[in-house]
Amino acid sequence: MTPFSALRVAFGMLLGEDDFRVLMGNPRGKQMLHSAWLHGPGVVWGYGVRLDADGDRLRTAPGLAVDGWGRELALEAEACASLTAWAARWAEDHPAPGAAPGPGPADAAQPPCPGEGRPVTAWLVAEFGSCAGRPVPALADPCDITRRHDDYSRITETVRVVVRGDEPPRPRPYHRLRVLLGLDEVAGPEDTAGRQAAEAADRVRAAPPAQRAERLLAEFRRLAACDAGQEAPGREEGDACPQLFPVTEDHAPVVLAKLDFDVLTGPGGVRVADVVVDQLVRSVLLPTGAIQDLLCGLAPGLLGEAVPEDADGPRLDPGSLRWSRGNTCLSLCFDRPVDRRSLEQAVTITSLSEHGAGWARSPVAGVRLTDGGTRAVLDLEHPPAHRLARVLIRGTGPEPCYGTDPWVPFAGLRDGPAAGRHDGRDAVVTGYLQNHTADAGRSES
């Protein structure tokens, strides 16, 4: 395979065997790299696994998959694998603790209690294979006594379905993106990349709803650039020349099923029992069209509810509240003019007792507007009875506060969510009064 070497032909050039290898290897190698890095291993369709009634033979249906090296694994006919045969080899390599030594493998695998099963987990995988075929006459030097008179003209790609004792590692790249989207957890204090992504997720959640999609895309691109910069081809320890693919060839097979069963060794040989075949562990490659549809379906859940259009009602600046005149006068500011009479009917001031007496209301005697109707001064009949005071201005209900320019309901706190032209939002500000005396005001039950 020569993905980065292409054949350059010229008129009259004599082409040899190596030239044709380059000619075929260039596009094939590029396609394999594309599939391995941008799609990864997984089942495309088919490859259903079932266990025969005898509890031994695993039958795999025809299907198509892509392995970790980007090779298409096309299984055209049903494949079979014997679980008992694999278990016999496993029992030979893993003698039961306390087994008496003997001359043969069966004796060596004899467990201390005949018939007692040992739980085993194995993996059914599909791996790439090939064989040569279709021999044709070949040119040879007649003086060469080792000459071959024919050679194979075809390479047939095959699939081997085998049982493995060790789970093929399945890398989970792009850790930062997985943490950002809630698929991975931060591994711990040493997981700098995970903490980086968690902070990005907090920034997305803190953004206003209308800006959340744009913020998510910006963080996604930034973290993807960091993750991609740390990706590298897989390599075996001691490799001087690393290969081009995400995993080594030993780790390229596609997982089809997880197998849980008991291995029983007795005088009659090795057998398996209580076999459980779990196909849900396999990876599946989805068509691009299906991915687009799924992303559109999930978008409302990721981005939140639709953002309604704001009617530009007046909003309260929560930091503008000022108490004066022995806590009998309260001033506050809005970003737009408000209607005086509607504000007087929509404001409620209460205070909460620290000794279990509950809430006490402080009636508003009158409202004065200044600064073009954007600053309101509220005169109270008496100061709040308790130190914890709560100011409520209603933008909802039968008698909300209204703005005069435009003529729409009060929209709540500054930088709050959108409010409509038919129904606004309430605003609540709670705080402790300064210079409050214990006998101030009059409590009401």
Name the 3-class secondary structure at 345: helix
What's the one-letter identity of residue 314? P
Name the 3-class secondary structure at 132: strand
Q: CB under 8 Å to 146, separation ≥6 — which residues? A: none
Residues 403/314, Cβ–Cβ less than 8 Å: yes
Residues of the chain with pLDDT under 70: 1, 98-116, 141, 144-147, 298-307, 438-445
Strand pairing of 375-380 and 364-370? antiparallel
pLDDT of res. 445: 27
Q: What is the CATH number of domain 318-432?
A: 2.60.40.1220
Rounded to whole angstroms, the Cα distance separating 26 from 31 reads: 9
Rounded to whole angstroms, the Cα distance separating 36 from 70 reads: 4
**Which residue, among 297, 331, 356, has the nearest Cα to 429 in the 3D structure?**
331
Residues 406/311, Cβ–Cβ less than 8 Å: yes
Rounded to whole angstroms, the Cα distance separating 320 from 317 reads: 6
Rounded to whole angstroms, the Cα distance separating 185 from 369 reads: 53
Q: Residue 390's Cα: distance from chain center in Å?
A: 43
The CA dihedral of 96, 101, 107, 109, to the nearest 10 degrees, is 20
**First and final CA of the chain: distance in angstroms?**
88
* Number of CB atoms found within 10 A of residue 386's CB: 25
Distances in whole angstroms, Cα of residue 403 to Cα of each of 155, 332, 334: 81, 15, 10
**Which residue, among 219, 417, 211, 213, has the nearest Cα to 302 in the 3D structure?**
213
pLDDT of res. 109: 40
Which residues are 157's β-sheet partners? 130
Rounded to whole angstroms, the Cα distance separating 252 from 40 reads: 10
Q: CB under 8 Å to 23, separation ≥6 — which residues? A: 7
Residues 260/279, Cβ–Cβ less than 8 Å: no
Exposed/middle/buried for residue 79 (C-beta within 10 Å: 0-12, 13-18, 19+): buried
Residue where the block lists tokens 């025969």: 52
Tokens representing 121?
């987990």
pLDDT of res. 75: 95
Rounded to whole angstroms, the Cα distance separating 135 from 18 reads: 19
pLDDT of res. 258: 95
- Radius of gyration, CA atoms only, the chain: 38
- Enumerate long-range contacts of 85-90, CB under 8 Å, 24 or more apart: 86/122, 86/163, 87/120, 87/261, 87/263, 87/270, 87/271, 87/272, 88/269, 88/270, 90/120, 90/122, 90/165, 90/263
Distances in whole angstroms, Cα of residue 262 to Cα of each of 30, 90, 307, 352: 44, 12, 57, 68
pTM: 0.64
Crossing angle, helix 288-303 and helix 212-230, to 10 degrees?
130
Question: What percent of the chain stands above pLDDT 90?
Answer: 61
State phi, psi for 123 to the nearest 5 degrees.
-135, 130
Exposed/middle/buried for residue 327 (C-beta within 10 Å: 0-12, 13-18, 19+): buried
Which residues are 92's β-sheet partners? none
- Domain regions of the chain by residue span: 1-33, 50-94+115-137+150-173+244-307, 175-230, 318-432
pLDDT of res. 117: 82
Q: Residue 64's Cα: distance from chain center in Å?
A: 25
pLDDT of res. 111: 47
Residues 234/252, Cβ–Cβ less than 8 Å: no
